[in-house]
Amino acid sequence: MATDPSPKTLAEQFFRACTLILGGVGALWLAFCLLEKIWIWLLIAGTVAVLLCAGVWAYRRWWGQRF
């Protein structure tokens, strides 16, 4: 692993920090745009999963005791 022996100047560190912040903001913007398009489907899938788990729990709780 090679290390850079020369220290970075304050301007270089500032530019790197600004670039990283800009990249993070861009990634968050892209994630929110994607979530905006599919949030209703995620909500439906979550509701179906919760209802399915509740149904399995109820079946095991009530009808499972009869045997």
- Report pLDDT for 2: 57
Longest dimension (CA), the chain: 77
CA dihedral 22, 24, 26, 31 (to 10 degrees): -170
Is-above-0.85 flag for pTM?
A: no
- Report pLDDT for 62: 84
- Report pLDDT for 5: 65
CB atoms within 10 A of CB 67: 4
What is the Cα–Cα distance from 13 to 25, expressed in whole angstroms?
18
> Does 3 score more than 70 pLDDT?
no
Residue-averaged pLDDT of the chain: 89
